[in-house]
Amino acid sequence: MEKKYNAVITALGMYVPDKIMDNAYFEKIVDTTDEWIRTRTGIKERRLLEQGATSDLAAMAAEDLLKTYSINPEDIDVIIIATVTPDMFFPATACLVQEKIGAKKAWGFDLSAACSGFLFAFQTGASLVESGTYKKVLVIGADKMSSITDYTDRNNCILFGDAGAAVLLEPTEDKTLGLQDSILRTDGSGKEALYMKGGGSLNPPTHETVDKKMHFIYQDGKAVFKVAVKGMADVSYELMIKNKLTGDDIAYLVPHQANLRIIDATADRMGISRDKVMINIDKYGNTTAATIPSCLVEYYRAGKLKKGDKIILAAFGAGYTWGASYIVWSMD
Ligand code: UT7
């Protein structure tokens, strides 16, 4: 059945903590160099939330959005938080954010899809809007990655940072704008390449799980790198073919920011030049669910996006989870 509405982004906001951890800082705490980190990952700095939790990152991003666009929090219908670092198992971070921002009429939930979290939450939020049932859906990607990072493990600690970013989705009858199409995938066979081993119902927390450092990120970087390069590039290319798009048609690729080399490989496969690839990995590292929306916020605020621009969002992460979404920018 032909849908009546498309979901469009009508407002944006973000929050990064002030505290900066640059590469020189990591040279002091683990056996690494600025040169290795920059050339292997593209990262120069990341942010650290010293006090507070993911709900604070998410609420600050939401408040930035609400203030910038003078939106009454009581008009928000739904809050979806993409995160792998919820404040606690339950209640959902969405409940904590609902209270913090005063969204008294909203319901909401958390969505766990790691680095693809924002893409999955965006599709979910858009579907709620397209159904015609909900008019204002807040989709937030937020992660306090520092809370699950082992700062003695040089393989992982240099990669991650803390951030939150939010978009508001609303309906439009103009089908040329907003979310046009998505291809989203999961493959649980990747579960042991990137995961947190302890803390869940499989390995509930014990002294032993703490001693074995099972509450931190574990990643087989090399294995993930290989599948991420292929997965993100393949799905983005498939989405382009499906929608009859060439590299020239696309104003921006907005890739998940895990590694500049993965981003470059995806752009090459899509035939997209580097000036049309949104990048903020150098400033924030991998902020998991916040990478894609924070890029959108920063490039929009820098005046680099205009109404009608064709944009591909693409991500790859733990699970495995991956996908790409095609949107047409809707804000002046
Ligand atoms: O966001 C979710 C999805 N995640 C990703 O997409 C991440 C995918 N993986 C990656 O981005 C990369 O694999 C990493 C950045 C994690 C690692 O880069 P790499 O080029 O794959 O390095 P490697 O793991 O193959 O390690 C190469 C060498 C090793 O030394 P040996 O065995 O060759 O002697 C590592 O021990 O680099 C060493 N190494 C380091 N050296 C200096 C690993 N980490 C560091 C470090 N500083 N921080």
How confident is the model over 133-166, as pLDDT tens digits? 999 999 999 999 999 999 999 999 999 999 999 9
Looking from the CA of 115 toward its CB, the CA atoms found within 13 Å total 31
What is residue 39's three-state secondary structure? helix
Q: What are phi and psi of 12, to 5 degrees?
A: -140, 150
- Is the CB–ligand 1 distance for residue 158 below 6 Å? yes
Percentages helix, strand, coil for the chain (3-state, rounded to 5) are 40, 25, 35
- Alpha-carbon distance values, 157 to 132, 240, 331 (Å): 43, 35, 37
- Is the CB–ligand 1 distance for residue 25 below 6 Å? no
ω into 91 cis (within 30 of 0): yes
Q: Look at ligand 1, atom 43, and give the residue with the nearest C-alpha.
A: 155
Q: How far apart are CA 82 and CA 298, in angstroms?
A: 19
Give the H or E element holding residue 240.
helix 221-242
Q: Look at ligand 1, atom 5, and give the residue with the nearest C-alpha.
A: 258
Residue 2 has pLDDT above 90, yes or no: no
Look up tokens 């507070």; give the residue: 52
Tokens of residue 60, six digits: 């600050």
Provide the pLDDT for residue 32: 97
Residues 201-213: what's their mean pLDDT?
97
Ligand 1 geometric centre to CA of 110 (Å): 30
Spell out a b/e string for 196-218, using b for 16 or more CB atoms within 10 Å of the CB, else e: bbbbeeeeeeeeeeeeeebbbbb
Q: Look at ligand 1, atom 19, and give the residue with the nearest C-alpha.
A: 222
How crowded is residue 173: how many other Cβ atoms within 10 Å of its Cβ? 8
Provide the pLDDT for residue 245: 96
Per residue in 37-82, pLDDT (tens digit) is: 999 999 999 999 999 999 999 999 999 999 999 999 999 999 999 9
Residue 114 has pLDDT above 70, yes or no: yes
Q: Which atom of ligand 1 is nearest to the CA of 259?
A: 11
Of 148, 223, 153, the closest CA to residue 191 belongs to 223
- Is the CB–ligand 1 distance for residue 109 below 6 Å? no
Q: What is the mean pLDDT of the chain?
A: 97
Tokens of residue 35, six digits: 């040169």
Q: Which atom of ligand 1 is nearest to the CA of 30?
A: 48
- Is the CB–ligand 1 distance for residue 258 below 6 Å? yes
Type of residue found at 225 = F
- Point out the residues that are catalytic: 115, 256, 286
Ligand 1 geometric centre to CA of 222 (Å): 7
Domains by residue range for the chain, with CATH:
6-175 (3.40.47.10), 179-328 (3.40.47.10)
Tokens of residue 149, six digits: 């990072």
At 315, the pLDDT band (50, 70, 90 cuts) reads very high
Provide the pLDDT for residue 1: 67
- Under DSSP, the state recorded for 247 is G
Residues 116-126: what's their mean pLDDT?
98
Per residue in 168-184, pLDDT (tens digit) is: 999 999 999 999 999 99
Per residue in 239-248, pLDDT (tens digit) is: 999 999 999 9
Per residue in 232-284, pLDDT (tens digit) is: 999 999 999 999 999 999 999 999 999 999 999 999 988 999 999 999 999 99
How crowded is residue 323: how many other Cβ atoms within 10 Å of its Cβ? 26
Provide the pLDDT for residue 3: 87
Provide the pLDDT for residue 323: 97
Q: How far apart are CA 50 and CA 80, in angstroms?
A: 24
Beta strand pairing call for 310-317 and 252-255: parallel
Residues 286-308: what's their mean pLDDT?
98
- Alpha-carbon distance values, 243 to 122, 160, 238 (Å): 19, 33, 9
Q: What angle do CA 292, 16, 272 make, to 5 degrees?
A: 25
